[in-house]
Amino acid sequence: MSVIVSRTAGFCMGVRRAMEKALEERSRTPDTLFTLGPLIHNPHVLDILRRNRVLEVSEESAEAGSRVIIRAHGVAPPVRRKLAERSCIVIDATCPKVARVQKMALRAGEAGRQVVIAGDKDHAEVRGILGHALAGGVCISTVEEARSLELDSPALLVAQTTFSEESFAEIAGALRGRHLDIEVQDTICDATSERQEEARRMALEMDAIVIVGGRTSANTRRLAEIITGLGTPAFLVEDEGEIPPEVSRYETIGVTAGASTPNWLISRVAERLVEMQARGVRWLLWRCLAFLVRSNLLVALSALALTLLSVLWQRLQPGFRVLAVPPLYLFGIHLLNTFSESQAQEINEPAQKMFMQQNRAWLMPLAWMSLGIALLLASLGSLWAGVLTASAIILGLLYQVRIPFARVQLIRIPGSKDLFTAGAWAVFTCCIPALIAEGRLLPSAFMASAIVFSITMVRALAYDLKDLQGDRMVGKETIPIYLGMRWSSVLSTSLIVLAAGLATVALALGVFPPAGALALLLPAHALVYLRLFQSRRVSGAVLFSATVDGFFPILGLLALAFLP
Ligand code: SF4
């Protein structure tokens, strides 16, 4: 039983670029932003965009002076002229690859050649390219149309960027076979051909394929045609709620998606499929895991495990207060934060949001109780531990609110959540135990804090990368949104190297005992989960959290074996 997500599923470069331009523009002014036609062929994304002041408009109804985005499909020159006549502020998000085909059509037209496009006649991209063909253009969709096509002049054959490779090869073959004066240019985008190729491979290897995407999306429908053409059952769904129950009877299920499907929808569908496939003991295990993740109890267990490790590193006596304060504080504050993240959660993890709403009556008091007990135990353990815990609770509560007179909101500082979270993990799992047990901080406490800070920063970045597209939609300012994917990956790798280097130095200098070598497993684990995440071996919020946080309790048990 397995669910495998296609590596190439989801936003292509052109759609991602158009989305980013739209969201960037939206954040610049409070005015409504318009897109010429739907920005993306996905009803979920369009719904969120509408709620965030990004509305569809046609060239006829665009208001004078309004800000209008040309989507990735591009438009014909007359449409641009109409917008210019109305003094609209145009934000051009035409995909560079589509713009290249438009230029090819324009040059062919200037040379007096006719343009033939293999594609869908009603598709906006096709209309835009035809609009550039000065000497006239024609769209054909089937090999039969290619056989009966009449040409008045030399011609150029191009393809809609999301057209099927097979159909294009057939059409080009039919035209060449008729010895017409036609130049053939395969303009199908690499992203499309790779996606179709992977869908073909998956269709041959898996029992069934679920395709996630809007029904109006041509490239999504094309994926379904390719898969059913190979005799493999294909199910096209727009979200996890549309998965038919019969899918669960297949042993191996592949998940692919069109170019306009966001990652969060793919992830939600994959998670639902894993849940539907689980039976008997597996189902029980899945429910337990989902409960641990959604209730934040896995966070508490991870905090306890890192505290055990830090106690081992610092050669501290593992008393009750030493071990209880970190998980209580981190559990309480994470739980309160989960309650307040409603908009992003609705997109990224609707199952978690529903869990929080259904269990609010006992989870909310539990969060406050955990914080209260953490403060009490820390204060009884040491004055400084009490002061630090009280400050951390106040900071955690102030994080989301506008600070009076200062006119700042900490949550609005890019990356602040990751820095605060990693800082809290470092202070609570390393400094607070040392203050309670010894009343002071030794060099081992600083070394341990630096390692935990690096590792939990990587953890926070991994969560941000998972939620990148959803966070961007609601205007969250995380480090990956600020730095971009590439630099965030560089930052993660640097932090992993830093953690490994610090652990090695601490062991070599005798700051940590030899058993503290368990520290080296932390960066190794981070490398593994980042790799799994990049290759899409792990999808869905529950499995992701289990992979990232589930290793800490195992490490905690190992540390326990070396403690006095
Ligand atoms: S499929 Fe390719 S050409 Fe079309 S918008 Fe996406 S990246 Fe651009």
Examine the pLDDT at 342 and tell me if it is beyond 80.
no
The ligand 1 atom nearest the CA atom of 162: 1
Instruction: Please report, for residues 18, 36, 38, 131, 437, the alpha-carbon distance to residue 126 in angstroms, rounded to integers and kept in the order given.
Output: 18, 15, 15, 8, 71
414 pLDDT band (50/70/90 cuts)? Answer: confident
Structural domain of 207 = 191-283
Indicate the Cα dihedral angle 146, 151, 153, 154, nearest 10°: 10
In order, the DSSP letters of 486-529 are HHHHHHHHHHHHHHHHHHHHHHHTTSS-GGGGGGGHHHHHHHHH
Write the pLDDT tens digit of every residue in 453-474.
999 999 999 999 988 888 888 7
Q: Which residues approach ligand 1 with their CB closer than 6 A? A: 12-15, 72, 95, 97-98, 161-162, 189, 191-192, 259
CA of 135 to the centre of ligand 1 (A): 25
- Is 519 found in the same domain as 452? yes
- Residues facing residue 36 across a β-bridge: 57
The ligand 1 atom nearest the CA atom of 125: 4
Q: Give the residue from 103, 181, 117 showing the smallest Cα distance to 145.
A: 117
Contact (Cβ atoms closer than 8 angstroms) between residue 47 and residue 292: no
Q: Give the residue from 18, 40, 159, 29 showing the smallest Cα distance to 96.
A: 18
Tell me, what's the pLDDT at 395? 87
The ligand 1 atom nearest the CA atom of 97: 3
Tell me, what's the pLDDT at 245? 92
CA of 14 to the centre of ligand 1 (A): 5
Q: Quick one: residue 87, left, alpha or beta (phi over 0 = left, psi -120 to 50 = alpha)?
A: left
Pick 411 or 281 by higher pLDDT: 281
Task: Kindly state whether residue 47 falls inside one of the protein's structural domains.
Answer: no
Residue that terminates a domain, selected from 283, 318, 350: 283
- Is 341 found in the same domain as 383? yes
Examine the pLDDT at 411 and tell me if it is beyond 80.
no
pTM of the predicted model as reported, rounded to 2 decimal places: 0.82
Task: Kindly state whether residue 460 falls inside one of the protein's structural domains.
Answer: yes
Q: Are strands 155-159 and 182-184 parallel, antiparallel or unpaired?
A: parallel
Nearest CA to ligand 1 atom 8: 14
CA of 125 to the centre of ligand 1 (A): 10
Tell me, what's the pLDDT at 404? 63
Task: Kindly state whether residue 20 falls inside one of the protein's structural domains.
Answer: no
Q: How far apart are CA 516 and CA 521, in angstroms?
A: 10
Tell me, what's the pLDDT at 534? 83
Nearest CA to ligand 1 atom 7: 14
The ligand 1 atom nearest the CA atom of 192: 1
- Is 437 found in the same domain as 370? yes
Amino acid at 555: L
Instruction: Please report, for residues 32, 458, 462, 524, 555, the alpha-carbon distance to residue 497 in angstroms, rounded to integers and kept in the order given.
Output: 45, 11, 16, 10, 19
Contact (Cβ atoms closer than 8 angstroms) between residue 209 and residue 199: yes
The count of residues in the chain is 564
The ligand 1 atom nearest the CA atom of 219: 1
Task: Kindly state whether residue 500 falls inside one of the protein's structural domains.
Answer: yes
Residue that terminates a domain, selected from 283, 298, 324: 283
Least confident interval from 21-25, 228-232, 401-405, 493-497: 401-405
Q: Are strands 114-118 and 67-70 parallel, antiparallel or unpaired?
A: unpaired
- Is 203 found in the same domain as 266? yes
Contact (Cβ atoms closer than 8 angstroms) between residue 356 and residue 339: yes
Q: How far apart are CA 334 and CA 424, in angstroms?
A: 11
- Is 509 found in the same domain as 557? yes
Q: Read off the CATH number of the domain in which 216 is found.
A: 3.40.1010.20
CA of 94 to the centre of ligand 1 (A): 9
Nearest CA to ligand 1 atom 5: 14
- Is 261 found in the same domain as 200? yes
Write the pLDDT tens digit of every residue in 181-194.
899 999 999 988 89
Fill in the DSSP letter of residue 236.
E
Task: Kindly state whether residue 90 falls inside one of the protein's structural domains.
Answer: no
CA of 501 to the centre of ligand 1 (A): 42
Task: Clarify whether 110 is annotated catalytic.
Answer: no
408 pLDDT band (50/70/90 cuts)? Answer: low
User: Which residue of the set 59, 110, 125, 205 is catalytic?
Assistant: 125
- Is 556 found in the same domain as 490? yes
Non-local (6+) Cβ contacts of 471 within 8 A are 344, 348, 464, 478, 481
- Is 356 found in the same domain as 261? no
Residue that terminates a domain, selected from 190, 207, 239: 190
Count of domains forming the chain: 3
CA of 17 to the centre of ligand 1 (A): 10
- Is 233 found in the same domain as 105? no
- Is 408 found in the same domain as 474? yes
Write the pLDDT tens digit of every residue in 260-309.
899 889 999 999 999 998 888 888 999 999 999 999 999 999 999 999 99
- Is 203 found in the same domain as 185? no
Pocket test for ligand 1, best of 98, 100, 163, 194 (most atoms within 8 A of CB): 98
Nearest CA to ligand 1 atom 4: 161
Task: Kindly state whether residue 319 falls inside one of the protein's structural domains.
Answer: yes
Mean pLDDT of all residues in the chain? 91
